[in-house]
Amino acid sequence: METTVNLILGPIIAAIVGAALAGGAAFGVISAETAVPSPVDAPFVVYGTN
Amino acid sequence: MLVLALLYLGPALGQGFVLSYDMVFVPQQSLLLTTFGLDGGLPRAVPQDIVVALLTQVVDGAWVQKVVLLAIPIVAGLGVARLLMGWGRGVQLMGVTLAVWNPFVVERMVIGHWALLLTYAVVPWVLACLMRLRNTGRGAPGLLLWCALGSLVPTGGVWLLMVVSVPLLWPGGVLTLKRRITFMSGVVALNLPWLLAALAHPSRGTTRIDGSEAFALRAEGTWGEVLTALSLGGIWNSEVVLPSRGLILAPIMGVLLIGLTVWGIRSWMRVGERVVVVWGVLLAGAGAVLALLPALLTGLWGLLLETLPGGGLLRDSHKWLLLLAMVVAIVAPIGAARLIRPISDSVNRRVIVAALVIAPVLVLPDMAWGASGRLSAVEYPTEWTNMRQAVAEQQITGDVIVLPWSTFRRFEFNANRTVLDPAPRWLPRASVFSSSLAVTRGGQTIVISGDDPRSQVVNETLAAGQPLVGVASDLGVGLALVERNARPPVPATALDGTSLVWSEGNLELYRFPGPARAPFVTAADRVIIGVNIVIAIGLVGLGLTAAGGRWRSRRSNSLIDPDSPA
């Protein structure tokens, strides 16, 4: 029973996650490129922005 | 679980080091006085730095980092799966996905708080040990070892102290009072490395009021701080927040999961040890309130941080969502199971379970592949390795001033990502470096002063346009390391009177003329180092005992002790 469930669930999950990731990449939400922070005008590197 | 971990980490597991904000690893880190949190700033990375320094004496720091990065999702996932044993495969899968894939984990990882994430990862194991200890009186070595792994930074240690305190000390169960106090003392002792160093520090851990506002939990959308916190996000730094957190799905998912968690608490209480469960849930709720306090009551929060010794620990309030994130991962799947139980059609039930298993990934898809490339491994240029050698070969005594005078860097080799200056960890000697934190808030830059007295002297000298040679000897400094191309430019007068002794690429090493004050180790320093050694020996002994017990259990074909991390 467990094996049957896993054989069904596994491909379904993989397909949905894969499609979501592909869709995200198509719309630019996900990118494999390294994220580059926007330039900061301060003379020193700031820790971050709140 | 491994697939999820690999999908999440992706390029972070490549060759080299992930350098992201506070996460800095180097091939070999030296064991120095400052590593113990002595003779410098507040002990924020104690005993984390001691452990990393010891490990990198035998294993390259890149491998240590890889193991840490992989261990966090795997330990967290396995811990939740174990706690949910008996609830069915689907519920376990839901728990694993929630534990591995959530905003708390990714925001904390991008800002580099890996040791705090280890605390997060050990929480289900600690809860399991506490349940076993109260029910059977067994599992104490496992509890102490998991707590040791999760107490590498002060906030993690405090979290675990709170988690274990009531279940250990509350009457009931099979433990005698003497044993309760003994185990509690053991967990307290694990925090002595940073606690003693903090008490020995002149600032006693208080922070400026600016810091409390700058590091307050922030809303990640128009829905405000409360919904942001309930959906487990809200880190102060908007630069580490993933774009998907701004979508309306984020708070909807948060509310759904909190609802399932509330729905599942009663069921969890029925199967888990009641004191452990109730306390865990109460503490998670209290953590959420604490996380929201600076956003809702800013004035009171600032006053609290400024006056309370150790108040600096509370400053970054998003950290206080740690237990809520883990409790949601454990209990929301139980709530979901309770909710779908009346559905008679097994296919429908499976579809719902499958949807809930993948929902965390779908709502936060940009966490994949190293948080969309933010966690990517890079190689240090060879000049950094040679610099370490060059400093080691210098005959002059004294520490090293690191310039430019700025806490963070953006290196080209690191794709211009913000990272804490790695030089202090590369250097084989103690160093004096800028520890002030510049944070942009409301279009203005707030600079929160560091807490190392020697840094403050250097700061004032540079601000006055004076050469460092005038203060170097008194500060016990013999060398200056300059990272050219880093911001801000080193003032022309700063190095007057020094001589260039080594340079390669963007790194230069200067020598000050006068003899530097020798490092001064006080009696208190010796006591603190001694305490660290005693704790380390104790933990090794405990680990060997637990491993030995496990081995004997296996030999006698008895049940495997699941509470031991060995």
How many Å lie between the alpha carbon of A14 and the closest alpha carbon of chain B?
9
Higher-confidence residue: A25 or B146? B146
B431-432 and B399-403 strand pairing: parallel
Handedness of CA B274, B558, B121, B167 (dihedral sign): positive
- Asked if A47's CB is within 8 angstroms of B418's CB, the reply is yes
Lowest mean pLDDT among A8-12, B268-272, B344-348, B465-469: A8-12
State if pTM tops 0.80.
yes
Structure tokens at B127: 């809860």
Lowest mean pLDDT among A13-22, B367-376, B423-432, B470-479: A13-22
Say what the pLDDT of residue B228 is. 97
Say what the pLDDT of residue B538 is. 87
Chain A contact set for B359 (CB, 8 A): none
Q: What is the spatial distance between Cα B368 and Cα A21, in angstroms, rounded to a whole number?
A: 8
Q: Cβ neighbours of residue B181 under 8 Å, at least 6 residues apart?
A: B169
- Does the pLDDT of residue A9 top 80, yes or no? no
Higher-confidence residue: A12 or B457? B457
B408-410 and B444-448 strand pairing: unpaired
Structure tokens at A1: 């029973």
Say what the pLDDT of residue B308 is. 75
Nearest to A47 among B10, B417, B439 (CB): B439
pLDDT band at A39 (very low <50, low <70, confident <90, very high): very low
Say what the pLDDT of residue B234 is. 96
Say what the pLDDT of residue B493 is. 94
pLDDT band at B550 (very low <50, low <70, confident <90, very high): confident
Q: Percent of chain B scored above 70 by pLDDT?
A: 96
Residue B400 three-state SS: strand
ipTM surpasses 0.95: no
- Does the pLDDT of residue B529 top 60, yes or no? yes
pLDDT of B199-220, one tens digit each? 887 665 555 656 678 899 999 9
pLDDT band at B62 (very low <50, low <70, confident <90, very high): very high
Higher-confidence residue: B445 or B150? B150
Residue B444 three-state SS: strand
pLDDT of B121-175, one tens digit each? 999 999 999 999 999 999 999 999 999 999 999 999 999 999 999 999 999 889 9
Q: What is the spatial distance between Cα B342 and Cα B25, in angstroms, rounded to a whole number?
A: 51
Say what the pLDDT of residue A10 is. 65
Question: Which of B219, B423, B362 has the alpha carbon at shortest distance from A22?
Answer: B362
Nearest to A50 among B11, B90, B237 (CB): B237
Say what the pLDDT of residue B314 is. 82
Q: 């190689």: which residue's tokens?
A: B379
Chain mean pLDDT for chain B: 91
The two most distant CA atoms of chain A are separated, in Å, by 64
Buried b (16+ CB within 10 A) or exposed e, B336-356: bbbebeeeeeeeebbeebbeb
Q: What is the spatial distance between Cα B224 and Cα B463, in angstroms, rounded to a whole number?
A: 40
- Does the pLDDT of residue A45 top 60, yes or no? yes
- Asked if A36's CB is within 8 angstroms of B417's CB, the reply is yes
Instruction: Determine the residue among B97, B238, B349, B369 to mutate to test chain A binding: the one whose Cβ has the most chain A Cβ atoms within 10 Å.
Output: B369
Q: What is the spatial distance between Cα B23 and Cα B17, in angstroms, rounded to a whole number?
A: 10
- Does the pLDDT of residue B14 top 80, yes or no? yes
CB B363 within 8 A of CB B250: yes
- Which residues on adjacent β-strands are paired with residue B20? B23
CB B434 within 8 A of CB B426: no
Residue B509 three-state SS: strand
pLDDT of B34-53, one tens digit each? 899 887 778 889 999 999 99
Nearest to B236 among A36, A44, A50 (CB): A50
Chain mean pLDDT for chain A: 62
Structure tokens at B41: 């700033």
Q: Percent of chain B scored above 90 by pLDDT?
A: 74
Chain B contact set for A6 (CB, 8 A): 89
- Does the pLDDT of residue A32 top 70, yes or no? no
- Does the pLDDT of residue B560 top 50, yes or no? no
Q: B530: which DSSP letter?
A: H
Say what the pLDDT of residue B167 is. 96
Give the pLDDT mean for A8-37: 61
Q: What is the spatial distance between Cα B253 and Cα B231, in angstroms, rounded to a whole number?
A: 7
Structure tokens at B283: 């503490």
Report how far apart, in Å, the C-alpha atoms of B199 and of each of B193, B310, B451, B454, B525 are.
Answer: 10, 9, 13, 18, 11
Nearest to B238 among A2, A45, A49 (CB): A49
Say what the pLDDT of residue A14 is. 67
- Asked if A21's CB is within 8 angstroms of B440's CB, the reply is no
